[in-house]
Structure 1
Amino acid sequence: MKKILSFLAVLALGAFAGELSIDKIYAKAPAGAKNGAVFMVIKNNLDGDIKLVGAKSSVANSAEIHTHKKVDGMMMMTQVDAIDLPKNAEVILAPGGLHIMLMGLKKPLNFGDSIDLTLKFSSGKSVKIDDISVTNGEKLLFLEK
């Protein structure tokens, strides 16, 4: 997978310089699925904590931040408001854990397609990522739980 990008974040209180890198990003949607998911590794090299607070994609009606939790002995997918990205830390969005859920796909996602995704952060900044590869639905080893 491609190393995607870095950006400088600016908070309302002043400059907050450093890098936020997004690597190993891919999407999947099993054949015929109405929803899909996006996984990645986000590394926060900034001088402070930040949060991933939202996402959107042109291929879906909406995008939500999700995780899996055990409820009454069963694993269930649930929406969360944000993902904490502590300074100098790496957060993995992977199958069975945190991920971006693409809700209401506008068309089926097929192996080899590429999609876009915009990530929104608590700093007020957004990052648009183009050309995210769609896999055939199998877990990729580097993100497997």
Structure 2
Amino acid sequence: MRKITAFLALVAVSLFGGEISIEKIYAKESMKSAQNGAVFMNIKNDLGADIKLIGASSSVCQTVEIHTHKMIDGMKMMAKIDDIEIKAGESVELKPGGLHIMLMGLNKQLVNGESVDLTLNFDTGKSITIKDISVVNQKTLFLEK
């Protein structure tokens, strides 16, 4: 329980890139044979104008895509999208079952306790690089909240 609480306290500290803040960021632990991984976070926009997250990159994979989940023929399916709009003064939550960042073509397994990097690109021309994003076992995270 203490380990998870310490993790949540750590990620609650905002990483600032101008007036865009990234909070509660983590990567989901992957299975040994998995080709893809996922990153979740909150993005807060205090710029005073609407912005869009238009792309991302990471050293741990070949490609990064922005995804959401959609209902297709009664089934919830992942779908690639071009961007995520963040209205001025608002936040957007990237979470399991919703909007998220997909790490495609992993170079290695994402292991609980290790870390990854991610660079987020916005339509303002601003990029934010976040290093040392914790990889967590998502089941443990939710069970011990």
Q: Percent identity?
A: 56
Corresponding residue number in structure 2 for 1:36: 37
Note the C-alpha offset of 1:7.
2.2
Q: Aligned pairs, how many? A: 132
Corresponding residue number in structure 2 for 1:13: none
Note the C-alpha offset of 1:4.
4.0
TM-score, normalised to structure 2, is 0.86
Corresponding residue number in structure 2 for 1:101: 102
CA 48–25 in structure 1, closer or farther in 2 if over 3 Å, else same: same
Preserved CA contact (<8 Å) 1:95 1:139: no
User: Aligned partners of 1:125 and 1:108: how far apart in 2?
Assistant: 29
Corresponding residue number in structure 2 for 1:75: 76
Note the C-alpha offset of 1:30.
2.6
CA 25–134 in structure 1, closer or farther in 2 if over 3 Å, else same: same
Corresponding residue number in structure 2 for 1:5: 15
CA 107–98 in structure 1, closer or farther in 2 if over 3 Å, else same: same
Corresponding residue number in structure 2 for 1:116: 117
C-alpha root-mean-square deviation of aligned residues, in Å? Answer: 1.5
Is 1:61 the counterpart of 2:71? The answer is: no
Deviations 1:72-130 (A, max 9, x none): 10000000000001000010000000000000100111000100000000011111000
Greater helix proportion: 2
Note the C-alpha offset of 1:21.
0.8
Corresponding residue number in structure 1 for 2:20: 20
User: Aligned partners of 1:93 and 1:140: how far apart in 2?
Assistant: 16
Letter of the aligned partner of 1:118 in structure 2? T
Q: Identify unmatched segments of 5+ residues in structure 2.
A: 1-9
- What SS class does the counterpart of residue 138 from structure 1 fall into? helix
CA 139–62 in structure 1, closer or farther in 2 if over 3 Å, else same: farther
**Of 60-69 and 25-34, the range deviating more from structure 2:** 25-34
Note the C-alpha offset of 1:20.
1.0
The correspondence of residues 133-144 of structure 1 with structure 2, limited to 5 A, is 133-138=134-139, 140-141=141-142
TM-score, normalised to structure 1, is 0.86
